[in-house]
Amino acid sequence: MALGKTKLALKDYETVFKARPNDKDAKLKFNECSKIVRQQAFERAIAVDTVKKSVSESINIDSMAVESTYTGPHLVNGRVTLEFMQELMDAYKDQKKLHRKYAFQILLEVAELFKAQPSLIDVTIPEDSKFTVCGDIHGQFYDLMNIFKLNGLPSTENPFLFNGDFVDRGSFSVECIFTLFGFKLLYPNHFFMARGNHESQTMNQMYGFEGEVKSKYSSQMAELFTEVYNWLPLCHCLNQRVLVMHGGLFSRDGITLEDIRITDRNRQPPEEGIMCELLWSDPQPMKGRSPSKRGVGIQFGPDVTARFLEHNHLDYIVRSHEVKSDGYEEAHDGKCITVFSAPNYCDTMGNKGAFITMNGKDMKPHFTTYEAVPHPDVKPMAYANSMMSLFG
């Protein structure tokens, strides 16, 4: 169900409901899933069978007026400045909203920026410079602000890479994504963002981001986000020594950096292949490969990691995608590092968050861990699909 395979899920729910007709939980989930399947069938039936114009082409920024009553930050000549970013973060801390005109402007501009980039970004870190890698943020805006408090704001001297899953689950995802996109526009060559498995339409429909965007803005903006996410790079190679991706490695040996670089990413994540596995795979302690417990991607062992690194002349990989109690984990003899930056994930997990810093000279990872900070009383998954709210 969580993968958006509603028809397959309905078959299973029907089997359970028939076997346990008096089970309230089984009945509730079967009925809810039936409703979603019927709704999807209705939407397909009324859809106009024509080539759909992209949302970005249908948006007219000039027609959007900024009301005199608006007291939030303003883009000056359509440009993001440091002053704008500081005002934006302050406004978000006070639970205020960015005007829709500026929100659309940021989305259209950042889409053009990502479109011009390959699927694998090569990043050069000077010998005496610090570089920071953050993992999943998942809509935890106040914890994102704490990262900047601990590590300094992004700048040309303080570059960052955010490694996917910026949104969903946490109910301040809109605030997170506009903050991150704003810094991308301000420092295009010193602020990096990679796609995670949650930067996809199915995940966003299920886990809250689409509902949050519709609530705070509009369904048109939710569609535009889907277009923008399709252009996010898939991974980053730091100083030709460290490969950073959201999920993990591949179902076969022999994959090269060039194979990743030329991967067509302007689409929803497929269910197999390089793009899928970069977004979904997980490490395992035993050698070899196994089917993923997630139902998508694979699990890969230390021998798979070692062969990939040797084949591509790399030192180690950094990935995210999994909650870790300390916010990070070194696996596969230190060659596969997980970093997860959302502390007390979903307000329930009790985990620490972490980020990695390294310098360009030795590229050794250093870990900073931190606890969750308080946030306004809006529960995680507040905007999620009604079906997902049944899984408490």
Q: What is the DSSP string of 89-151?
A: HHHHHTT----HHHHHHHHHHHHHHHHTS-SEEEE---TT-EEEEE-B-TT-HHHHHHHHHHH
Q: Is 332 a catalytic residue?
A: no
The overall average pLDDT reported for the chain is 94
* pLDDT value, residue 42: 78
Over residues 328-373, the pLDDT tens digits come to 999 999 999 999 999 999 999 999 999 999 999 999 999 999 999 9
Question: What are the CA-CA distances from residue 111 to residues 64, 214, 336, 374 (Å)?
Answer: 19, 20, 31, 32
For the segment 187-229, what is each residue's pLDDT rounded down to a tens digit? 999 999 999 999 999 999 999 999 999 999 999 999 999 999 9
Handedness of CA 171, 72, 147, 213 (dihedral sign): positive
* Residue 390 DSSP one-character state: G
Indicate the CATH number for domain 82-390: 3.60.21.10
Residue 387 has a pLDDT of: 66
Write down the catalytic residue from 138, 190, 198, 332: 198
- Is the CB of residue 335 less than 8 Å from the CB of residue 345? no
Q: Distance between CA atoms of 90 and 93, rounded to whole angstroms?
A: 5
Instruction: Give the long-range contacts of residues 42-50, CB within 8 A, separation 24 or more.
Output: none
Residue 366 pairs with which residues in a beta bridge? 357
* Cβ contacts of 259 within 8 Å, gap of 6 or more: 274
Query: From the CB of residue 108, how many other CB atoms can be counted at a distance below 10 Å?
Result: 17
**pLDDT confidence bin for 52, thresholds 50/70/90:** low
Instruction: Specify the pLDDT at position 48.
Output: 63
| Confidence tier at 37 by pLDDT (50, 70, 90) | confident
Per-residue pLDDT, 370: 98
pLDDT digits (tens, 9 = 90+) for 56-99: 999 999 999 999 999 999 998 989 999 999 999 999 999 999 99
Q: Strand 120-123 vs strand 235-238: parallel, antiparallel, or unpaired?
A: parallel
Q: Which two tokens stand for residue 228?
A: 């923008």
Tell me if 179 sits within 8 A of 92, measured CB to CB: yes
Cα–Cα dist 218/213, whole Å: 6
pLDDT of residue 34: 86
SS3 191: strand
For residue 172, pLDDT over 80 is answered with yes
- State residue 388's pLDDT score: 64
